[in-house]
Structure formats: structure tokens, C-alpha cells
């Protein structure tokens, strides 16, 4: 019995690790040509009950603690006029409830826990049928179980459901200040060691200290159309002009915030945020299933990677418990996954609504105080 996992993201690799621990054959097919071919993005906070639970289940929690940044849990929340609403600094002996970790470090931890041949790089899954998996280079493979861990725009998903991700109304411009301690120590002190949030009327600025000395800056615009980047007039191909345009869009905000945008480097990434319908399910189908964003893509409010990793761990445990009956294992996994992620998928929708509201900062303050 062999298992094919499409996608070497956090979810697919957590599953591969669990199967490896239990001695079950699996191959991960990844479209990227090599582990370092594409930047992995910024920091993630892993929660005790989900992402950290997954790492505990696959025997990697101690290694995770060695790369986690407790101080990344620090949080500052401000209003556009510069009023500080909330500042939470993590004491040195605080429990690691939601430590931040560099996404690339986490992926490398999972990759390093697998045999070298576990991932086949440069294999782009195209379709499945007649007992074969087909890849874009014309090669084929067989498997008793196909797991789509191929992210937001999953190709495996079409085997189970017609559902497609839709624009959530949020458009994000991602920028970064490299080496901020050297180049802009005043802005480094302003952002602090963790997360920095400024929520305004229909738009927000958030910044996040990364483990490599850079601060990533995310400028979000809410209630935007799916084609907003085409119509916004931001000259994305000309970084200096794009920064100037973005600063104009934050006119009237405290000058320290626009100074942060001005300090950013030339990498400017537009992200149109999409999500699958919350609570998406499908009839269990022998031989194929999904995990992570492929199954339940949700807006980026800190749950997607945590859920993807827990999916991977729990699917692996179900397969280890039913090594001769993959359909039973998949059905059990899907029942639990649908319940868990349906509830979580609806929460981000509420948070999105709050972020888009005119008094977002005050609402967020009340949300944090109630949590």
C-alpha cells in the first residue's frame, strides 16, 4: 500500500513525517524544483492545541522549541493617529502558548526529519484517472491513496468537489524592511519584538519582526474587488513609485507609519486574499482526500498553517491505526477534520468583518480583552 502526497508544504510534510514514524510508505511530489527554490514567507505563530500538538504527535516538539521565538508573542495595537491601545510584552519565563517561528525554519525541520528520497522535487501534479497519477512532464505514478496537500489552488480538489476559492474582499501588499536594526533602529524599536497592528477605516498596517532581522509589513485594504490590483493604480513594477502611491493611500496616518512604508525595500508582493466556503465538505471517496489549504483555505488570521499541520498529523495517525483499510482511515479523518475546520473557518470570517469595520482598532481591543 503506497501513499502519494501532492505538495511539500507544512501540511503535506507533517503527514509524511507521521507516516515515516509509523513505517508506512509514502512519496511527496512537489512542483518546486528544490527546497530553497521559493521564499517561504514570514513568521507563523504555532498554537498549543493545533500546530504544536501536531509537532508533539510527530516527535518534533523539542526541536521546535529550539527554533521558536517566545518574544514573537509580543503585541502592540494602535490607532491611525498613533494612539497606543494595547502593548503586551512577553516575560522571559512565559509559557510557549503561541511562539513565532520562521516559516522556512519550520519547513526545514520537517524536511530534515524525512529520508532524502521522501520528496520528489520538480514534479507538478496534473490529473488522476485510470489508476494513474499524471505529472506535467508526462511521467506517471500509481498509489493506493492520493492526498492533495497542494495548497490554495489545489488540482487534486477537483476530484472531490467543484468548490473554488473566492476573493474575500481583502487585498494585501506585502513589503519588508531588511536589516532594520542597522538601517532604521527607531522604526525597529517602534515595531518591537513581535506583532504590530494599526487598524484604520477600511485598511490596516501590520508589521512583524522576523528571525532574520527583517520586519515584514502588510498593508491591507478591505472591501476591495477581486481585480483591485489592476484598478488601484499602484505601479507595482516601479518600487519607489509604488511606495509613494501607498504612502498617499495612508495620508492622515501618524507619520511614523508612513515612514515605515518609506523604509521598505524593493520587493513588493500583491496578494489577493481568497477563501473556500467555510464548512466545505464532500462525500468520502476511497483513494483520495485533501488536507490543509486544499481542503479549507481560510483568510490569513493565524489558523491556516496550524490547521494544515494538525490535519497532516491526524490523517497520518488514522492511517497508522487502519493500515489495511485506507478508506476507513480517510472517512474517520475527514469526519473530525470537517467538524474542526468548519468551526475555525467561520471564526476568520468574523475577524475579517471586524478588521474591515470603521472602528476596527477599538473592536480588536475588545476582542483581545475578551479572549
Residues that bind ligand FAD (CB under 6 A): 6-12, 29-32, 44-45, 124-125, 149-151, 155, 271, 292-294, 300, 302-306, 308
Shortest spacing between CB 301 and ligand FAD, in angstroms: 8
273: which 3 cell numbers?
486574499
Shortest spacing between CB 118 and ligand FAD, in angstroms: 14
Nearer to ligand FAD, 9 or 80 (CB): 9
Nearer to ligand FAD, 208 or 232 (CB): 208
CA distance 16 to 120: 12
Shortest spacing between CB 4 and ligand FAD, in angstroms: 10
Nearer to ligand FAD, 125 or 222 (CB): 125
Nearer to ligand FAD, 112 or 255 (CB): 112
Shortest spacing between CB 14 and ligand FAD, in angstroms: 8
Dihedrals phi, psi of 240, to nearest 5 degrees: -65, -45
- CA separation (Å) from 80 to 93, 197, 251? 32, 10, 10
Shortest spacing between CB 7 and ligand FAD, in angstroms: 3
Shortest spacing between CB 212 and ligand FAD, in angstroms: 16
Q: Is 319 left (phi over 0), alpha (psi -120 to 50) or beta?
A: alpha
Shortest spacing between CB 51 and ligand FAD, in angstroms: 7
Nearer to ligand FAD, 107 or 184 (CB): 107
Shortest spacing between CB 186 and ligand FAD, in angstroms: 26
Shortest spacing between CB 153 and ligand FAD, in angstroms: 7
Nearest Cα neighbor of 206 from 84, 214, 216 is 216
Nearer to ligand FAD, 271 or 362 (CB): 271
Nearer to ligand FAD, 126 or 254 (CB): 126
Burial letters 37-51, b for 16+ CB under 10 A, else e = eeebebbbbbbeebb
Nearer to ligand FAD, 184 or 296 (CB): 296
Nearer to ligand FAD, 164 or 240 (CB): 164
CA distance 178 to 93: 29
Amino acid at each position: 500500500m503506497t501513499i502519494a502526497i501532492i505538495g511539500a508544504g507544512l501540511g503535506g510534510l507533517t503527514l509524511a513525517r507521521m507516516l515515516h514514524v509509523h513505517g508506512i510508505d509514502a512519496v511527496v511530489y512537489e512542483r518546486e524544483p528544490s527546497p530553497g527554490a521559493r521564499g517561504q514567507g514570514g513568521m507563523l505563530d504555532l498554537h498549543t492545541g493545533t500546530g504544536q500538538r501536531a509537532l508533539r504527535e510527530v516527535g518534533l516538539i523539542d526541536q521546535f522549541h529550539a527554533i521558536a521565538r517566545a518574544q514573537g508573542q509580543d503585541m502592540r495595537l494602535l490607532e491611525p493617529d498613533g494612539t497606543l491601545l494595547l502593548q503586551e510584552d512577553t516575560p522571559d519565563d512565559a509559557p510557549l502558548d503561541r511562539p513565532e517561528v520562521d516559516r522556512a525554519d519550520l519547513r526545514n525541520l520537517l524536511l530534515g526529519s524525512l529520508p532524502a528520497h521522501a520528496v520528489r522535487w520538480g514534479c507538478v501534479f496534473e490529473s488522476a484517472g485510470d489508476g494513474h497519477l499524471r505529472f506535467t512532464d508526462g511521467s506517471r505514478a500509481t498509489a493506493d491513496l492520493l492526498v492533495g496537500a497542494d495548497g490554495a489552488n489545489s488540482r487534486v480538489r477537483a476530484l472531490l468537489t467543484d468548490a473554488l476559492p473566492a476573493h474575500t474582499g481583502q487585498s494585501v501588499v506585502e513589503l519588508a524592511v531588511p536589516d532594520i536594526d542597522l538601517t532604521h533602529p527607531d522604526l525597529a524599536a517602534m515595531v518591537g519584538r513581535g506583532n504590530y497592528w494599526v487598524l484604520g477605516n477600511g485598511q490596516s498596517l501590520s508589521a512583524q519582526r522576523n528571525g532574520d532581522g527583517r520586519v515584514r509589513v502588510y498593508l491591507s485594504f478591505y472591501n476591495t474587488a477581486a481585480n483591485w490590483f489592476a484598478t488601484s493604480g499602484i505601479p507595482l513594477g516601479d518600487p519607489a513609485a509604488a511606495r509613494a502611491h501607498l504612502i498617499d493611500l495612508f495620508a492622515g496616518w501618524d507619520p511614523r507609519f508612513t515612514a515605515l512604508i518609506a523604509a521598505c525595500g524593493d520587493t513588493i508582493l500583491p496578494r489577493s486574499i481568497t477563501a473556500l466556503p467555510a464548512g466545505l465538505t464532500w462525500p468520502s471517496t476511497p483513494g483520495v482526500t485533501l488536507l490543509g489549504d486544499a481542503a479549507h483555505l481560510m483568510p490569513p488570521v493565524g489558523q491556516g498553517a496550524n490547521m494544515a499541520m494538525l490535519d497532516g498529523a491526524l490523517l497520518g495517525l488514522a492511517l497508522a491505526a487502519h493500515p489495511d483499510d485506507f478508506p476507513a482511515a480517510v472517512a474517520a479523518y475527514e469526519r473530525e477534520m470537517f467538524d474542526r475546520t468548519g468551526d475555525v473557518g467561520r471564526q476568520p470570517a468574523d475577524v475579517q468583518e471586524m478588521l474591515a469595520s470603521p472602528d476596527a482598532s477599538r473592536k480588536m481591543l475588545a476582542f483581545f480583552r475578551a479572549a
